[in-house]
Amino acid sequence: MEGLSLLAVAFVSAFIPVVNIEIYLAGVSLLGEPRSGWQVAGLAAVAAAGQLAGKTLFFLAGRGVLTLPRRWRTPVQSPSGPSASAAAPSRVAVSLDRWSQRIQRRRWLSVIFIGTSASVGLPPFALVSVAAGALRVSLPVFLLSGLSGRWLRFAAVLVLVRLTGT
């Protein structure tokens, strides 16, 4: 039951920033019985899977498969009228095209960028998820990089809580 609630909280925290998965993980670690290294790794994996399930929806929105609610849209995803096609490309479109070309030339760049954002949180992983979709990063690359980064982040939280006991 603990794993299922952790999965649900991690999924919700992908959308609602005030639901802090790191604090929830610390509470689970402090209030539960002492855990082995494998149990800590498993808890981090469950939290990472829940978070990535939510962030994958952002990725799919960046791809254009899903539509984000109006308040979450970036300028790239905003609906455009007929006059927008005749106008010069926006700064965002130009920047997106430049990054797309860089990623096409250096595929490892997307792995590093996604993994770093997933583990460190800078730039925010939600924004990187949308950008990865818009830049046409492959779904397996996004999932593996994101899952690895999130697992490292959550494992570090659990290990720090375990070592400090606070």
| Whole-number pLDDT of residue 83 | 47
3-state secondary structure of 62: helix
Reported as a single tens digit per residue, the pLDDT across 107-164 is 788 899 999 999 998 888 998 999 899 888 999 999 999 999 999 999 999 999 888 8
| Whole-number pLDDT of residue 164 | 85
**CA 6, 9, 13, 15 torsion-angle sign:** positive
| Whole-number pLDDT of residue 72 | 53
| Whole-number pLDDT of residue 54 | 95
Reported as a single tens digit per residue, the pLDDT across 59-98 is 999 998 887 666 555 554 445 544 444 556 777 667 667 7
Locate 81 and state its tokens. 């009228």
Locate 161 and state its tokens. 């809580």
DSSP H/E element including 105 = helix 91-105
Q: Which residue has the tokens 């308040």?
A: 71
Give me the phi and psi of 70, to 5 degrees please: -50, -40
| Whole-number pLDDT of residue 37 | 84
For the chain, the domains span 2-69+90-164
pTM, to two decimals: 0.80
Q: Is the pLDDT of residue 53 over 90?
A: yes
| Whole-number pLDDT of residue 59 | 96
Taking the C-alpha atoms of residue 63 and residue 134, their distance in angstroms, rounded to an integer, is 5
